[in-house]
Every structure is written in C-alpha cells, then in structure tokens.
C-alpha cells in the first residue's frame, strides 16, 4: 500500500473573475497514521454550479473564508472552490466505523471545497451515499433536486391533484420539480421561454411528467388565462416557484389562487420580483425566498432528510439522470497545470451548459 498521495485542489486567493482567479494547489496527504476520526476521500465527480462561480466573484453571501489553514502548505490565504461533489473513501482512521474504503459520500455542508482530487477530513463531515444511484445523480443531488424537493414539500401542504406553477421550467431545478411533483401526484404548470424547437422542449418536459407547458408569451397574455382556468377545472394554484423575476414572475403570480405561496430561488432575468399590490392585499399572497444553503441551518436535518427522499425517488426511477456536459480526468496523469486548465475550461463552458468534472 502506498503511504502518501499527491492531492490537488482548485483555490483562489482573492475575489474576481473566476477563470482568472483560480489556481491549483498541490500537497501531500499521508494515508498512514490518520487521526482516529479522519477519513481520506478521492473525488469521483463534481459539478460547476452558479453559486460556485458567485463565490469566487465574492458576491455570494455564503462563502468560505480565505485562510492559511484551508489546506496544508499554503503560502497565501486561500479558499477551496466548489460546494457539491461525490467522493469515495480511500483511507480511514481507527475510530471510523460508519465508512469502509470504497464507500461513496458527499459533504454534509456547503463551502466544503469540492473542486479537488482528494481531501482529508473528519468522517462526520460526510453523508454516505448508496451506490444504487448513478455517479451523476449522486454528484449533483445536494443542490438542484434537493431544492425542488424542499420547495414542493416544506411550504404548502399540497395534496395529490393540487397544482403548482413554475418559470424556468427547463432548468435543472425545474426538471427535478416536474418529476418529483409527478411522483407526489401533483399537477405542474410549467413556463419556458419561447424558442425555435419549442414543441420538442414541450414534449421533453411532458415526457418527464409535466402536466402543462406554456411559453412566457402565454404567461404574459391575458387571453391565455382562460385556457389555464379550463385546465385547473375549479382548482386554485397554491404554490409558485420563481427563478426568473421581472415580468415572468408578475405573470406567474397572477395565476396563483388565494392564500398561495410564491417562492423565489433565482433571478435569471436580472430583474427584481415585481408583484401587483392587489395580489398581496386581496389574494393574501405570501412571497418568500428559497435558499437551500440557508435551510441547512434553518431546518436542522433538512439536508439528510431531503437527500434520503431524493435518493429513493432516483432508485425508483421517478427522477431520471440529469444531463451534464462531462469532462473526464485521469487523476494518475494529472499535473497542477492540467487540473487548472480543466476547471478554467469548465468555467468558460458553463456559460453554454451544465458542466460535470469526472475523475478516475
């Protein structure tokens, strides 16, 4: 057995444009004589999420401190990038009973620094993940499907047959919400931007379990309201999910019934949340925010409960594997420059599509 390995991690020393600020830091991890409660993990896969990018930009409210103790042998205060990712255990201390070598795990908390090849940490910083789900599912379970699950179940007590409405329905959260809703027996009214291949997209979302898919033009049209009313057949929509803002959320909110909840979890249009006064006063609308990171402390156990529920749905085939652009990395052939190049390219490509870095 080898006694030590070279670990590489993507770090930054100051906030700024992500592709310019990230660096690769390498150091040794000793696999023998571990502290009794520590485990050493090797990366299997990690996504590049918008919140990772916003952290490096310095504009995200939750971020790891820039510290000399983030990793061994740092010359300047640094933070390790990445909040989500799948690891496997490759070594463990003498007290560790909850993990065996080869087990899969994900970080229990955010700000863990997942853009790396290896990490040594306390075993209780991880949640074990069964191998009954795929690598891609496990590596991306903690943010998008978990957000969808909590938004659909933590706020309004929806019953089978009830409706919710969402914009940005083709996002990873939106697609997860469609599938989770179907499993829960809920109807979904899904808003997407118009595009050339709109029917293809509609069919794609319908195949995931969407009840109805409409365009933003439909959402903003007064006439189209009658069509929606006929679909609802007397029911009122009790929950809205907004990741767009601007006129999209105005149109979405107008579809909500009395005493409904509107959850804002993103602002892709870069415009604020604009809501008619009358919806607040006369329809008793409640508008709240949703931030899964905030919920880790706000609802203790929420992360574990949520991940267990989502794993079950993935195992049962209720949620299909999310689609990512994948980059495959051979850890044994890596250099510092090579790992940095992979993540710089990942950041650049993430403007076009969701990126997943897979290690082997």
User: Rg of the Cα trace of the chain?
Assistant: 22
| Contact present, 71 and 9 (Cβ < 8 Å) | yes
CB of 65 to a copy of itself, least distance (A): 18
Exactly one of 23, 88, 283, 312 binds a copy of itself (CB under 8 A); that residue is 283
Exactly one of 69, 73, 277, 332 binds a copy of itself (CB under 8 A); that residue is 277
Our finding on whether 278 is near a copy of itself (CB under 8 A) is yes
Stretch that binds a copy of itself, among 65-73, 194-202, 267-275, 310-318 (CB under 8 A): 267-275
Closest residue by Cα to residue 239 from 302, 318, 305, 162: 162
Whole-Å CA distances, 190 to 99, 275, 351: 41, 19, 23
What are the residues facing 38 on neighbouring strands?
122
Identify whether 12 is a catalytic site residue: no
Our finding on whether 282 is near a copy of itself (CB under 8 A) is yes
Task: Spot the catalytic one: 60, 149, 265, 324.
Answer: 60
Stretch that binds a copy of itself, among 9-17, 101-109, 266-274, 309-317 (CB under 8 A): 266-274
Neighbours of 134 (CB within 10 A): 15
Our finding on whether 266 is near a copy of itself (CB under 8 A) is yes
| Residues within window 292-311 making contact with a copy of itself, judged by CB under 8 A | 294, 298
What gap in Å lies between CA 192 and CA 171, rounded to an integer? 9
Our finding on whether 168 is near a copy of itself (CB under 8 A) is no
Our finding on whether 289 is near a copy of itself (CB under 8 A) is yes
Q: Residues 38-77 vs a copy of itself: string with x where CB under 8 A?
A: -----------------------x----------------
What gap in Å lies between CA 305 and CA 50, rounded to an integer? 24
CB of 211 to a copy of itself, least distance (A): 26
| Contact present, 134 and 140 (Cβ < 8 Å) | no
Neighbours of 174 (CB within 10 A): 23
Question: Which of 152/201 has CB closer to a copy of itself?
Answer: 152
Which region holds residue 141: left if phi is over 0, alpha if psi is between -120 and 50, else beta?
alpha
Measured in Å, how far apart are the chain's first and last C-alpha atoms? 19
Q: What are the catalytic residues?
A: 60
**Which residues sit at the interface with a copy of itself, rule CB under 8 A?**
61, 245, 250, 264-267, 272-291, 294, 298
């Amino acid at each position: 057995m080898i006694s030590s390995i070279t670990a590489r991690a993507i770090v930054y020393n100051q906030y700024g444009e992500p592709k310019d600020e990230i660096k690769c830091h390498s150091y040794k991890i000793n696999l023998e004589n571990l502290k009794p409660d520590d485990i050493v993990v090797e990366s299997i896969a990690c996504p590049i999420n918008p919140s990772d990018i916003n952290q490096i930009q310095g504009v995200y409210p939750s971020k790891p401190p820039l510290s000399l103790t983030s990793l061994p042998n740092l010359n300047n205060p640094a933070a390790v990038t990445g909040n989500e990712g799948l690891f496997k255990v490759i070594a463990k201390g003498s007290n560790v009973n909850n993990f065996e070598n080869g087990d899969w795990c994900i970080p229990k908390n955010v700000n863990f620094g997942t853009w790396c090849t290896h990490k040594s940490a306390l075993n209780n910083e991880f949640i074990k993940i069964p191998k009954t789900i795929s690598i891609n599912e496990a590596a991306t379970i903690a943010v998008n499907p978990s957000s969808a699950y909590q938004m659909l179940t933590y706020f309004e007590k929806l019953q089978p047959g009830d409706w919710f409405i969402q914009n940005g329905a083709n996002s990873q959260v939106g697609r997860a919400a469609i599938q989770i809703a179907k499993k829960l027996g809920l109807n979904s009214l899904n808003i997407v931007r118009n595009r050339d291949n709109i029917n293809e997209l509609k069919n794609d979302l319908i195949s995931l379990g969407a009840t109805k898919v409409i365009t933003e033009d439909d959402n903003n049209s007064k006439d189209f309201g009658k069509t929606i009313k006929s679909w609802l057949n007397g029911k009122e929509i009790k929950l809205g999910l907004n990741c767009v803002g601007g006129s999209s959320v105005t149109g979405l909110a107008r579809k909500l019934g009395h005493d409904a909840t509107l959850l804002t979890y993103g602002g892709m249009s870069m415009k604020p949340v604009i809501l008619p006064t009358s919806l607040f006063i006369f329809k008793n609308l409640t508008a709240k925010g949703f931030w899964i990171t905030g919920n880790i402390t706000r609802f203790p156990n929420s992360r574990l409960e949520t991940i267990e529920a989502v794993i079950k749905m993935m195992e049962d085939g209720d949620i299909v594997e999310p689609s990512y652009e994948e980059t495959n990395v051979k850890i044994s052939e890596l250099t510092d420059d090579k790992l940095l190049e992979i993540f710089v390219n990942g950041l650049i490509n993430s403007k076009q599509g969701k990126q997943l870095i897979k290690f082997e």
